[in-house]
Amino acid sequence: NAGVTQTPKFQVLKTGQSMTLQCAQDMNHNSMYWYRQDPGMGLRLIYYSASEGTTDKGEVPNGYNVSRLNKREFSLRLESAAPSQTSVYFCASSREGAATEAFFGQGTRLTVV
Amino acid sequence: AQSVTQLDSQVPVFEEAPVELRCNYSSSVSVYLFWYVQYPNQGLQLLLKYLSGSTLVESINGFEAEFNKSQTSFHLRKPSVHISDTAEYFCAVSPGYSSASKIIFGSGTRLSIRP
């Protein structure tokens, strides 16, 4: 029962480097999300994908891009990492939008130095 | 747009004591409301949710929350907490229609249980 799988679990980047966070779900869910979690700020929505082939901006999309590669996979890309992007990133998926339960991955702890 | 305010960043309580974690929301449309729990070094898990119907909803591990439309609140309560309830709790809101996809989370309340 894999659920939502994120890779990598940890990453250290230098300012200006790029990287892609990978997320895959095996529950046949339509909706997928990327959040960042910072102390005292809860989870903030970066981007979401209501269904395969669509993506929309969340609360804090600047500095990020996403790709809904297929129904299973939703990747998050940092083109030029900045120290302000140091955070824990969570991917989540749900069957049909917000009314159904969102399942979360274990998170990726990213440090930008 | 929707927003969520969790009034307490930390709540320390003794084991077997009651607890209330407060959550207020703001929205111009009807909403769905959620409580999620995050145990240390894990992702979030759904604890309970309000979609419609009875305003009192319960979880399998003894938590309950009541939707109060007039006070725009969805406070989480448990009559007697256990050490295993130590976690961070997040209130969340989304627009109240089934196709809505944006779930907005509050800043979280860290519940610490003292023996």
Average pLDDT over residues A55-71: 94
DSSP letter (8 states) at residue A73: B
User: Of A94, A92, A76, A105, which is closest to residue A30 (Cα–Cα)?
Assistant: A94
pLDDT value of residue B40: 87
List of chain A residues whose C-beta atoms are within 8 Å of the C-beta of residue B9: 40
Polymer length in residues for chain A: 113
Average pLDDT over residues A2-19: 95
Mutate to test the interface with A, among B38, B103, B110 (most CBs of A within 10 A): B103
Interface contact B102-A98, CB threshold 8 A: yes
Q: Do the beta carbons of residue B3 and residue B104 sit within 8 Å?
A: yes
pLDDT value of residue B92: 92
Interface contact A90-B44, CB threshold 8 A: yes
Tell me which residues of chain B have a pLDDT lower than 50. none
